[in-house]
Amino acid sequence: MPLYDCMLLLKPHIKKELMLALVTRVGKHVQMRNGVLTDITSFGTVQLGYGIKKLDGRYFQGQLMQMTMMATPNFNKELHYLNKEDLLLRWLLVKHRNFKFPESGGLKLDYPGSNLLDCVGVDYDTAKESDGDEEYREEGEETQSE
């Protein structure tokens, strides 16, 4: 079974109990289809780049959740009942490509570079590495040195 990420963008005023009820319903749907829910992540309230218009108004914020699961390939078609869900602003199902399971040990779902905190401690101002702009410099233009 392939690995999927289901991103759910909920309305900002939704209470935690209703959020958990929606996640539980999706999780039970996965389990009924012999799938496995491997991870649930809540990103809290996020600012949206544009307003999403719904029947009860326009939303510029939303609560973002990610559900990682292993499910059958036709699972995408079965999730279309979420379109009628009042609590959701948007939802998206993304399939992981070329995912290799570790041969020994347990399942570790840690993707390199996926964490925003991976670059903490990197001082970009003092980095000595070239930025690759040499090919765009005109003749006679000098490079800045410290």
What is the Cα–Cα distance from 106 to 140, expressed in whole angstroms? 58
The CA distances from residue 40 to 3, 106, 128, 139, in Å, are 13, 18, 39, 54
3-state SS assignment for residue 35: coil
| Interval 21-59: pLDDT, tens | 999 999 999 999 889 999 999 999 999 999 999 999 999
What is the Cα–Cα distance from 77 to 95, expressed in whole angstroms? 13
| Torsion 114-115-117-121 (CA) sign | negative
Contact of 107 with 41, CB cutoff 8 Å: no
The mean predicted confidence, pLDDT, of the chain is 79
Domain residue spans of the chain: 3-98
Would you state the CATH architecture of domain 3-98? Answer: 2-Layer Sandwich (3.30)
| Interval 119-139: pLDDT, tens | 555 555 554 555 555 555 566
pLDDT of residue 78: 86
Quickly tell me which residue has 């996020």 as its tokens: 46
Residue 104 reports pLDDT greater than 60: no
Please report the DSSP string for 70-100 in residue order: E--TTHHHHGGGGGG-TTEEEEEEEEPPS--
